[in-house]
């Protein structure tokens, strides 16, 4: 079992830990860095609960080895709010009741961050295509789409 | 030993313990394997480690490999396309993957490097079975070369899946070359209906000299239906895939023809 030191920036802060080379980024964030906002739904890349931004791009953190993130910038759900102030997307999810159990929510939020950065005024079709990789068992997605529309309007 | 490209197919297999390589070689920090290069002869060279998402946004791909740009949004989801690679998808050779059919329909050449040196493999000869390619032991796919698109080329990709981003139950990559109103060449390659992408020679044979009407395209669809030998699984029966083969073939050929008109200069 080989171990190595992984150093990267997470939510703007340099973080470092020695891990088994087989450790996924998802497990590294949760167990080595204590950032448990990134969730494990399927651990094989189909549910999107583990979505984070890696150098700005949304990825499935259960499909990346932690060592591959060496030197990268990672944004997790913990990096969205500023102290007590929710990110506009988080506020919109709250206002539109776009979460129930909340398990899928961090993944949706990071996916939506990428979408709104690239498309200022996404249509419903744009939004549904963008969130296609995130599964929710509670909401039926309608309020999720409404929340992202609302946040797009707020930021525009 | 396995090489790790985008990891979007490989890492799930590791998670399921379907593969237990003793060594995993990460290709992600080899800059020579990435990049999209416009060739002097009007063609395009796409490094194997190019992310699938890059196909959606690259101006060079839009101009010189539009079929790949059309197929790319159908590949899984954005998160998969942000990491998954062009070379990885082609080397993995999933029977339902879009890029293998795109490579064959585009007449692509695959640049391969291995212990014995470098060689080129035509895409049409590359896919030999389910998850099986012509790559020998120790060989690595390094780049995909696309020939210069002919004048009058229109391309389209059509697939049917239960949800956006699901594996295609059946799909078709089509390229049609029109001279005025008349088709001078056509290629059609289907996915999800056999062990490998299936080229349908009837597309060229039946469409040359026609203006690719709905009836013309439907006739090619029927040839495609007769040619494919799909299996049944929990997603679709063989009969249903045969039916879909005819449908996606027709849709892709008609859409490719429309594109040929739409992208004409002037």
Among A78, A105, A137, the domain boundary falls at A78
**Tens digit of each residue's pLDDT (9 = 90 or more) over B150-179:** 999 999 999 999 998 899 999 999 999 999
Q: Which helix (H) or strand (E) holds B172?
A: strand B170-179
| Same structural domain, A142 and A97 | yes
Closest to B80 (Cβ–Cβ): which among A24, A130, A133? A133
Spatial separation of the C-alpha atoms in residues A61 and A27, rounded to whole Å: 8
Spatial separation of the C-alpha atoms in residues B88 and B95, rounded to whole Å: 14
Domain covering B2-26+33-146: architecture? 2-Layer Sandwich (3.30)
pLDDT of residue A155: 65
Give the pLDDT band (50/70/90) at residue B17: very high
pLDDT of residue B184: 97
Structural domain contains residue A83? no
| Same structural domain, A67 and A27 | yes
CA-closest candidate to residue B144, choices B197, B195, B85: B85
Q: Indicate yes or no: CB of A44 within 8 angstroms of CB of B83.
A: no
CA dist A49 → A6, A76, B126 (Å): 23, 11, 36
Q: Indicate yes or no: CB of A129 within 8 angstroms of CB of B76.
A: no
Distance of CA B233 to the CA centre of its chain: 22
Chain B environment of A2 (Cβ under 8 Å):
none
pLDDT of residue B262: 83
| Same structural domain, A72 and A26 | yes
Closest chain A C-alpha to B24 CA, distance in angstroms:
10
- Count how many domains chain A has: 2
Structural domain contains residue A8? yes
**Tens digit of each residue's pLDDT (9 = 90 or more) over A125-144:** 999 999 999 999 999 999 99
The two counts, helices (H) then strands (E), for chain B are 11, 13
Give the pLDDT band (50/70/90) at residue B264: confident
Chain A environment of B163 (Cβ under 8 Å):
132
CA-closest candidate to residue B86, choices B59, B108, B116: B108
Q: Indicate yes or no: CB of B79 within 8 angstroms of CB of A68.
A: no
Cα dihedral sign, B147-B54-B187-B266: negative
Q: Tokens 């000299």 correspond to what residue?
A: B209
CATH 3.30.465.10-classified regions of chain B: 2-26+33-146
Tokens of A79: 């990096």
Contacts of A96 (CB under 8 A, 6+ apart): A143, A144, A146, A147, A150
**Searching chain B, which residue's CA lies closest to the CA of residue A21?**
B24
| β-strand pairing of B182-191 with B198-199 | antiparallel
**Searching chain A, which residue's CA lies closest to the CA of residue B57?**
A118
Mean pLDDT of B170-195: 97
CATH 3.30.390.50 fits B153-262, yes or no: yes
Asked if residue B266 has pLDDT above 60, the reply is no
Secondary structure of residue B74 in the 3-state scheme: helix
Indicate the angle between helix axes B214-227 and B238-262, nearest 10 degrees. 140
| Same structural domain, A56 and A100 | no
Q: Indicate yes or no: CB of B76 within 8 angstroms of CB of A133.
A: yes
Residues of B with CB under 8 A from a CB of A: 4, 7-8, 11-12, 15-16, 26, 28, 53, 73, 76-80, 82-83, 163-165
Q: Indicate yes or no: CB of A114 within 8 angstroms of CB of B8.
A: no
Whole-complex ipTM: 0.97
Give the pLDDT band (50/70/90) at residue A59: very high
Among A59, A78, A97, the domain boundary falls at A78
Mean pLDDT of A7-19: 97
Residue A148 structural domain? 88-155
Chain B environment of A58 (Cβ under 8 Å):
78-79, 82
Secondary structure of residue B214 in the 3-state scheme: helix
Among A52, A78, A104, the domain boundary falls at A78
């Amino acid at each position: 079992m080989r171990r190595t030191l992984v150093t990267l920036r997470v939510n703007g802060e340099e973080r470092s830990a020695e891990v088994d080379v087989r450790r996924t980024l998802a497990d590294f964030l949760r167990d080595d860095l204590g950032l448990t906002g990134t969730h494990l739904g399927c651990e094989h890349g189909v549910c999107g609960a583990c979505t984070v931004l890696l150098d700005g791009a949304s990825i499935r953190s259960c499909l990346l080895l932690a060592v591959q993130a060496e030197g990268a910038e990672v944004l997790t759900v913990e990096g969205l709010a500023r102290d007590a102030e929710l990110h506009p997307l988080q506020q919109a999810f709250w206002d539109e009741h776009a979460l129930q159990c909340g398990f899928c929510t961090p993944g949706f939020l990071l996916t939506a961050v990428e979408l709104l950065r690239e498309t200022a005024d996404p249509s419903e079709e744009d939004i549904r295509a963008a969130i296609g990789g995130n599964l929710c068992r509670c909401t039926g997605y309608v309020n999720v789409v409404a929340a992202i529309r609302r946040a797009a309007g707020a930021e525009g | 030993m396995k090489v790790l490209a985008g990891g979007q197919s490989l890492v799930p297999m590791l998670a399921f313990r379907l593969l237990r390589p003793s060594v995993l070689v990460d290709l992600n920090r080899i800059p020579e394997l990435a990049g999209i290069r416009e060739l002097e002869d009007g063609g395009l060279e796409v490094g194997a480690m190019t992310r699938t998402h890059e196909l959606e946004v690259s101006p060079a791909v839009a101009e010189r490999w539009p079929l790949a740009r059309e197929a790319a949004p159908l590949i899984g989801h954005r998160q998969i396309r942000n990491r998954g690679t062009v070379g990885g998808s082609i080397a993995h050779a999933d029977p339902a993957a879009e890029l293998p059919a795109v490579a064959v329909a585009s007449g692509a050449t695959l640049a391969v490097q291995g212990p014995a040196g470098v060689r080129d493999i035509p895409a049409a000869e590359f896919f030999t079975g389910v998850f099986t390619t012509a790559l020998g032991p120790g060989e690595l796919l390094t780049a995909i070369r696309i020939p210069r698109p002919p004048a009058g080329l229109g391309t389209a990709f059509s697939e049917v899946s239960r949800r956006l981003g699901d594996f295609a139950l059946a799909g078709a990559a089509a390229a049609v070359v029109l001279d005025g109103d008349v088709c001078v060449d056509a290629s059609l390659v289907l996915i999800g209906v056999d062990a490998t992408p299936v080229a349908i020679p009837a597309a060229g044979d039946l469409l040359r000299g026609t203006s690719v009407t709905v009836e013309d395209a439907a006739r090619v669809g029927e040839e495609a239906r007769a040619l494919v030998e799909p299996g049944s699984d929990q997603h679709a029966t063989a009969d249903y895939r045969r039916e879909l083969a005819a449908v996606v073939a027709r849709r892709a050929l008609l859409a490719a023809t429309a594109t040929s008109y739409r992208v004409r200069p002037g």
